[in-house]
Amino acid sequence: MTKLFSPTQGTGFTFCRTAVGSSDFGLDDDSYAEVEGDYQMKHFSLKREKRVLYHIFKKHNSKK
């Protein structure tokens, strides 16, 4: 993260793009709602984000 966002020790990026759901560059398909017809969103889940991305953003934000 330092190499990406630090203006003195890295490239100094101030923002990044994060895909919501599956990305064109992803290795597999992903969905927030796997149950067809679940219009009440009872099966909506952010489990993947919590497992994969959350700790990265938390670590970055704690350095501000």
Give pLDDT tens digits for 10-62.
999 998 877 766 677 777 777 777 888 999 989 888 877 777 777 777 776 77
Predicted pLDDT at 10 = 92
Predicted pLDDT at 40 = 93
Predicted pLDDT at 37 = 93
Nearest to 48 by CA among 25, 20, 15: 20
What is the pLDDT averaged over residues 6-11? 93
Q: Is the pTM of this model over 0.75?
A: no
Q: Where are the alpha helices (DSSP H) in 1-64?
A: 2-5, 47-52, 54-62
